[in-house]
Amino acid sequence: MAAEAREFLALVGPPLPYPFDDSGRRWIEYRPRTRPGVSLAALEVPARKAALRLLATGLSPHAYAQALSIMSLEEVLDRSEGYRRGRHLNDFWVSVFGTPGSSWGWRFEGHHLSVSMTVVGGRVSPAPVFLGANPARVSYGAHVVSRPLAPEEDVAFALLAALSPTERSLAVVSEVPPADIESGASAAAVPLSPAGVSATVLNPAAGALLAALVEVYLDRLPAPLAEELSPGLEELRFAWAGPERPGAPYYYRVQGSDLLIEYDNTDTGNHAHSVLRRPSSDFGADLLAEHRSAYH
């Protein structure tokens, strides 16, 4: 990761890197807004490729494919809107904070994509990781042409179907979904309520599917990072809001002691947001606290 970041910085130069303590490091913005960093559109091909290689160091192979599909959807969305907003697949921005090899971090971000990595003492803190899609599904007749977030949706519906009536009554916290993920673009994720059904009361099939759903999100990361974050199943809670059928607007979340997973498809039923966050450890808060305790 540090090697790819150094190569990227050598090709880009100022204004990167920003200071590690820059206030913009703790930032997540998945909406089409102005954002800091260097735009892919402003880079020559070698630097653009270096930026994508840096992104690839923080994602598993399939999540990297999801990310590139999401970037390409900007052109699909632009066409569907009559090209009014000038969306394009290079409207993504890269920021590097600090000097790679010391305490440092990076972010790759644009509409429906935000990946932040923080590195302290050679250890990587990999969150937040946001993936969205608009349109979430593109079809040709009965055939699905594009559906980047299929696992995040399919495993959740399988879990919902596996719940007993009593378990479902605890899991479904509202008949109306929120308009968006509830952590939104906040730099600090907090526990959300109501928490939903506890994994400790789930039947075996539902418990296995809850574990599988968490794995879908952790497996966005390279295997060594995903293994470090794996929570105990007994601490997890699952909540659902909205109708219980695909195609209608709905929302779900999974929470643990230092885990927050959110997914919504609540705009038109074809516009999805999903995020992996760590309320106590986003943006390397855990590693920085350990570092200060050990060395200061």
The residue extents of the domains of the chain are 2-127, 149-280
Predicted confidence (pLDDT) per residue in 82-102, tens digit = 999 999 999 999 999 999 999
Predicted confidence (pLDDT) per residue in 125-154, tens digit = 999 999 999 999 999 999 999 999 999 999
- Please state, for a pLDDT cut of 90, what percent of the chain lies above it: 90
Mean pLDDT of 260-276: 95
Question: What is the predicted pLDDT for the residue at 228?
Answer: 85
Q: Which two tokens stand for residue 153?
A: 């949706």
Predicted confidence (pLDDT) per residue in 180-238, tens digit = 999 999 999 999 999 999 999 999 999 999 999 999 999 999 999 998 888 888 899 99
Question: What is the predicted pLDDT for the residue at 296?
Answer: 57
Q: Pick from 187, 92, 171: which is nearest to 131 by CA?
A: 92
Mean pLDDT, all residues of the chain: 95
In terms of DSSP bridges, do strands 113-120 and 92-97 run parallel, antiparallel, or are they unpaired? unpaired
| The one-letter amino acid at 160 | L
